[in-house]
């Protein structure tokens, strides 16, 4: 079951329902540590990354169960544990999200340096800088970080690196600051929809966060938070992946539960290339074309073109006549999939953090290896248009971020099966 077999050449047609956003669900689930009582979270996708955060929460005294309507019910039963199990933390970068909540609520947090997708250096210095600014004592030893603070105090914190803002760093500092004494200002905050979503969830639990969705977040600390009920937004990266799949296979796909507001950069890019896209409040229709134009893009923080769609767009550009260029500004080494596309006949040259793609007529099916989540998606897209059969090995990565991808693609007419 760790190999996907795709027989290429089918245009995708029909309707697909986009799942809840993984990158919104993970920090929101972690934030339940901050509250008393029970929270009910709807539209949480069934993914291996969600399983990991649920297991971490269970080990930290938060009981989580999935109801028959798919909602996750989270209830804090015990508040003495403060150390996240290393074997789980090493599986997923987003495990770092428990740091802020543990420190704020339990005055102590211990966590191994997190693992996750292999997409280049992923430091956590900004997370730690934020916690220190709030008054935490940070100790690093044996590849573990331990933070302590009897009481956190609000402060003004600039969170940024040469790669821009930090999504989970902003989430972590915001989650620590909601229970700090006084006012915290986060400057250069990430304004990805998933960060906005976390802030809204925290406010529903009783936090006082303003400036939501902007580069400056202002947080007035409160004494305690209560459980609440919330519905996770749809996954803009899953939606973007299906949009590219529809365009690339010259198909016609209706996406339900997809918010075009969060997808403007990919919509603009695909339209510039010649795709016809209809946008409604929670529905997008993508009509593929026979002829597309090449394009040049660079990935930047939201609302720019997302790094999480970089590999999928590059995959499409391999079959668009002319020369396209894709520059990665957030994770300059996020090109592990390129050598796999080359095996399929693609014509791609990498120069530092840019790839130049000369479009060819067709890719050819062969055996390729998935190295991370979005690389897996890029190879699936390539397989959908390749001549003959593509075998994608190590496909387990895809289950980290795409709910039922094989079923959804089959439903749209793709010939795709697990082996
Ligand atoms: C989030 O990771 C997402 N993960 C990633 O999605 C996404 O690629 C990334 O944001 C960028 O959009 C989740 O939300 C769970 P960052 P995050 O901190 O928060 C540097 C996917 O495929 N940096 O915003 O960990 C960092 O190296 C995943 O779903 C520091 O220098 O990313 C990078 O260059 C993979 N120091 C840039 O900032 C720090 O302390 C942005 O990273 C933190 C980050």
**Model pLDDT for residues 309-363, shown as the tens digit of each residue:** 999 999 999 999 999 999 999 999 999 999 999 999 999 999 999 999 999 999 9
d(CA 244, CA 259): 15
pLDDT confidence tier of residue 142, bands split at 50, 70 and 90: confident
Average pLDDT on 67-85 reads: 95
Atom of ligand 1 nearest to the CA of 128: 40
Residues in a beta bridge with 350: 355
Distances in Å between the Cα of 116 and the Cα atoms of 74, 113, 119, 294 are 24, 10, 9, 32
Atom of ligand 1 nearest to the CA of 400: 29
How many other CB atoms sit within 10 Å of the CB of residue 192?
24
Whole-number pLDDT of residue 113: 86
Q: Which of 198, 213, 231 is the last residue of a domain?
A: 231
Specify whether 414 is located in the same domain as 307. yes
DSSP 8-state symbol, 290: S
Whole-number pLDDT of residue 121: 65
Distances in Å between the Cα of 391 and the Cα atoms of 238, 246, 313 are 21, 21, 20
- Ligand 1 site-directed mutation target among 140, 145, 169, 235, most atoms within 8 Å of CB: 169
Please determine, for residue 389, whether its predicted confidence score (pLDDT) is greater than 90.
yes
Specify whether 252 is located in the same domain as 369. yes
- Across the chain, mean pLDDT equals 96
Alpha helices by DSSP H, listed for 274-322, are 310-317
Told to judge if 117 belongs to the known catalytic residues of this protein, a careful annotator would answer yes
Rounded to the nearest angstrom, the distance between the alpha carbon of 60 and the centre of ligand 1 is 24
Torsion angle of the four alpha carbons 383, 389, 392, 395, in this order, in degrees rounded to the nearest 10? 80
d(CA 396, CA 325): 29
Residues touching ligand 1 (Cβ under 6 Å) are 23, 26, 93-94, 117, 121-127, 161, 163, 166-169, 190, 194, 307-308, 330-331, 373-374, 401
For a pLDDT cut of 90, what percent of the chain falls above it? 94
Domain that holds residue 311: 3-19+234-418
User: Which of 289, 285, 296 has its CA nearest to residue 247?
Assistant: 289
Whole-number pLDDT of residue 89: 95
Specify whether 378 is located in the same domain as 312. yes
Put residue 46 in one of left, alpha, beta given phi > 0 → left and psi -120 to 50 → alpha.
beta
Atom of ligand 1 nearest to the CA of 23: 14
Number of compact structural domains in the chain? 2
Q: Which of 74, 97, 117, 191 is catalytic?
A: 117
Specify whether 179 is located in the same domain as 141. yes
Specify whether 223 is located in the same domain as 319. no
Specify whether 215 is located in the same domain as 249. no
Biggest CA pair distance of the chain: 63
Rounded to the nearest angstrom, the distance between the alpha carbon of 122 and the centre of ligand 1 is 7
pLDDT confidence tier of residue 115, bands split at 50, 70 and 90: low
Specify whether 327 is located in the same domain as 368. yes
How many other CB atoms sit within 10 Å of the CB of residue 139?
11
Average pLDDT on 19-36 reads: 98
Task: Please give the sequence-ordered ranges of beta strands (E in DSSP) within 18-130, or none if there are none.
Answer: 35-36, 38-42, 62-66, 72-76, 108-112
Whole-number pLDDT of residue 117: 56
Whole-number pLDDT of residue 114: 81
Whole-number pLDDT of residue 297: 98
Specify whether 179 is located in the same domain as 282. no
Please determine, for residue 116, whether its predicted confidence score (pLDDT) is greater than 90.
no
Specify whether 399 is located in the same domain as 278. yes
Specify whether 251 is located in the same domain as 225. no
- Ligand 1 site-directed mutation target among 114, 129, 168, 172, most atoms within 8 Å of CB: 168
Whole-number pLDDT of residue 118: 56
Specify whether 200 is located in the same domain as 264. no
pLDDT confidence tier of residue 70, bands split at 50, 70 and 90: confident
For a pLDDT cut of 70, what percent of the chain falls above it? 98
Please determine, for residue 119, whether its predicted confidence score (pLDDT) is greater than 90.
no
Q: Which of 176, 200, 231 is the last residue of a domain?
A: 231
CATH of the domain at 300: 3.65.10.10
Specify whether 86 is located in the same domain as 206. yes
Do the strands 38-42 and 72-76 form a parallel or antiparallel pair, or are they unpaired?
antiparallel
Average pLDDT on 254-277 reads: 98
Q: Which of 201, 231, 261 is the last residue of a domain?
A: 231
């Amino acid at each position: 079951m760790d190999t996907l077999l795709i027989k290429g050449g089918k245009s995708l047609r029909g309707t697909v329902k986009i799942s809840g956003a993984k990158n919104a669900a993970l920090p929101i689930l972690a934030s339940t540590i901050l509250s008393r009582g029970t929270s009910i979270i709807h539209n949480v996708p069934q993914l291996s990354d969600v399983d990991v955060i649920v297991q971490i929460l269970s080990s930290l005294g938060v009981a989580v169960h999935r109801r028959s309507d798919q909602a996750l019910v989270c209830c804090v039963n015990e508040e003495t544990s403060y150390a996240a199990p290393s074997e789980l933390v090493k599986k997923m970068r987003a495990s770092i999200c428990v740091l802020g909540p543990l420190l704020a609520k339990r005055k102590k947090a211990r966590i191994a340096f997190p693992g996750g997708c292999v997409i280049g250096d992923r430091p956590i210095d900004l997370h730690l800088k934020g916690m220190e600014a709030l008054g935490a004592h940070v100790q690093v030893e044996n590849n573990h970080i331990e933070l302590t603070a009897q009481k956190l105090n609000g402060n003004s914190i600039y969170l940024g690196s040469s790669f821009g803002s930090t999504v989970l760093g902003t989430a972590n500092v915001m989650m620590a600051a909601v229970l700090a004494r006084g006012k915290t200002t986060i400057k250069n905050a990430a304004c990805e929809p998933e960060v906005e979503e976390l802030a809204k969830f925290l406010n529903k639990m009783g936090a006082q966060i303003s400036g939501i969705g902007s580069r400056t977040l202002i947080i007035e600390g409160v004494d305690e938070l209560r459980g609440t009920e919330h519905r996770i937004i749809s996954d803009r990266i899953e939606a973007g992946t299906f949009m590219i799949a529809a365009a690339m296979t010259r198909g016609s796909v209706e996406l339900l539960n997809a918010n075009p507001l969060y997808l403007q950069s990919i919509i603009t890019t695909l339209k510039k290339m010649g795709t016809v896209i209809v946008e409604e409040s929670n529905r997008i229709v993508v009509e593929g074309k026979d002829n597309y134009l090449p394009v040049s893009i660079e990935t930047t923080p939201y609302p720019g073109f997302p790094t999480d769609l970089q590999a999928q767009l590059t995959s499409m550009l391999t079959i668009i006549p002319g020369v396209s260029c894709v520059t990665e500004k957030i994770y300059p080494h996020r090109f592990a999939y390129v050598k796999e596309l080359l095996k399929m006949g693609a014509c791609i040259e990498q120069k530092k953090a840019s790839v130049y793609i000369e479009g060819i007529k067709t890719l050819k099916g062969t055996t390729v290896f998935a190295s991370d989540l979005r690389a897996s998606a890029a190879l699936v897209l390539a397989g959908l248009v390749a001549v003959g059969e593509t075998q994608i090995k190590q496909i387990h990565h895809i289950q980290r971020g795409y709910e039922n991808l094989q079923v959804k693609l089959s439903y749209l007419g793709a010939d795709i099966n697990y082996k």
